[in-house]
Structure 1
Amino acid sequence: MTAKPAFASSTEALNALTIDDIRAAAARIEGSVVRTPMMRSKTLSDIAGCEIWLKFENLQFTAAYKERGALNALLHLTEEQRQRGVIAASAGNHSQGLSYHGSRLGVPVTIVMPRTTPTIKVMQTESVGGNVVLEGETFDEAYEHARSMEKQLGLTFVHPFDDPLVAAGQGTVALEMLEDVPELDCLVTPIGGGGLISGMATAAKALNPSIEVVGVQAQLFPSMYAHIKGDEMECGGDTLAEGIAVKAPGRFTSQIISELVDDIMLVEEEALEKSVSLLLQIEKTVVEGAGAAGLAAVLSNPEHFAGKKVGLVLCGGNIDTRLLANVLLRDLARQGRLARLRITLQDRPGALFKVMREFDRHHVNIIEIYHQRIFTSLPAKGLITDIECEARDREQLDALVKSLEDKGYRVNPVELN
């Protein structure tokens, strides 16, 4: 394995990654990664107005497609490079995929992560054999330290996306999808640095030049979108899709994308949350925010995908359980099945009881009650009570609110941002 070449043009980049490279990668990694299922979702198809096929890459051993590219790169190492070991900068799925397969092959793997990396991610990487070095406050600082260690220790750097060998491994996802469902009209693929979509677009366009390839980025991190469109756009914020929250797109991958990808769509945080929730409720499968980006794009652009046969990659399932719980509860709130009602009352005996009677009459379950007498702008004899409650649906909740208002209560639902 040699250092990543610099590509002066898109033509050079396209020549560095071909369908033959991806087929060779597929043969190389066969049996060492999971050939994940490709399944049609009847319910999601009905919701989206198109035929949805899901590729369950969240069922890989490390719960992400990143194993494919990492393993393909490892299998290109010379014996001397294997003995010295490899290094990468990553706080995500690449670190686990590289560590797992490096450990399996007897190749020492060092992963540099920012000191701000959550402990669970450090532990997950170490549990599959990686040696974690914490350095810097940001990913950029960790990356620079990894490149410094590469030179000092004679290690081989394995980039998480901007490398033809890595992209060839990721392209095997599209090979499998089109082997299983060759008549797909469209592939919808998340974009972070661009390794996955570069490999997938290369494979898909070689097998079917008329197939549409659509990339998806979070609205908060539109780095590749802005680069391809030639726009200046801010990147930053707390996105649910942290796996594709990349501020600087790859140089190699951006050249492939500019030539082969038909469109890039941006999705809002609410669409990502809804899609994570839908996949769990309907398909009974856990995906991280990046893994739900494809579905979010389809649901946000129904007119574009109407009637098409669409392949979506559920690229990863590594989501913090507390975050997942928050996403599910917020989705229930948006559906009107959970609510917090702020009700103004007079501070007198029986006032709260009368309100409770309305909840009982409408069969709305009360979860929690907060009384506020002191920190309020109301007169001294007034009080505010916040009632968290659970309803069957929004219609049932609206009926309760109307009933309370008809009886003279001032009711303000506390809305999500």
Structure 2
Amino acid sequence: MFYFILKNLYFFILPIFFLLVGIRHICFKRSPVSLFLGIYLLSFFVRNVSAYFLAEPEISFAPHFYVYQSLIHYLIGPSAYLYTYFALKPYKKLTFWYALHFFPFVFYTIELFPFLISSLEYKRQVLDDFLKVKELITYNKTVGFVPRIYHTIAKFISILVYTFLSIQLYIKSYFNSAKSSLYYNNKQLYRWLFFDNLLKFLSLILITLQGFGIFNPFHGFAFQPLDAFVFSDALYNFIFIVFAPKIQSGLLFKNFQDDLLNQTSNKDESINVKQKPRDALMEKINIYMETEVPFIEDSFSIKTMSQSLNVTERQVSTIIKKTYDSNFANFVAKWRLNYIKNMHSSSPEWANFTIEQMAERAGFGSRQTLHKVINRMYNQTPSDFFKEYLK
């Protein structure tokens, strides 16, 4: 009885919930995070339901399910990476070019079409050959015009690349967020992505070992513990988006200027960007400045920002002038000064820095450049300025 309940829970009940939530996120939610989470959940719906029909005697009646299992692995990698990407880069706009991540899936679908319309007898023959395999890496036959071994390698590389891209993206965002209040405003999001990437990484290791027959060798389509472990990541994401739907909005933004609004000194009031109603582009600019911290590079320019946000330099310049009554150079300088104050107050290392070291780390490049900026904006020397500003 327990096995019956567990079997139906794994193959039908949970996948049906995945289907419903996935469709809802794709059709009715408007954020890129929700879209790719929906695709991810639908992939596991197909994966688990098709797995049920790959056991005897069901496989004899529906042998075409054999290719569905293989096909959806081209969906899982890119969809998992893209929901991580847009969760950590909410200022990015969803464009057609992101669809190129799914080109291998489309290509393989076209390649498999002749198999899907072939005779039942031919499908069973292909399955009989495949079920004799003990190690996927040695199987070189095909159901299309590309030998299956190449698809096996391609899918593994795809999962490998997308997993490490997600991990790299998470690590970079985590360390950038530590330079501001961003992490403290988004602890739940970072925890979700941490365990999500951890489960994917462990799954990747086990899949690699299985592919080479080292661990839990491949035995046709029989259910294996590895299948449940891979499924656990989808279940983890499903639980999170049901009980913590706010994570689908991506990073919640609160910039340096907002953090310093409670400061009462006149100096702080002159440095902090004046708060005015912002439109969507201005919000994207501020999110970009805090999540990427691009201004710590002395080569950072309005061209860099406009290219990252897919807008024109004129649009950036106009909205900054309209919102903050400031040009781009002064806008960036204020971010750098606030960055120095934030790091000086939160990092023991920064507390011992000289003005020249702080200038270099904050993107001013040198003490001379910092001197010119402070003298131009506040008519003071860096020493006098920071005595009051950093106290």
TM-score, reference length from structure 2: 0.24
TM-score, length-normalised on structure 1? 0.23
Which of structures 1 and 2 has the bigger CA Rg? 2
| Structure holding more strand per residue | 1
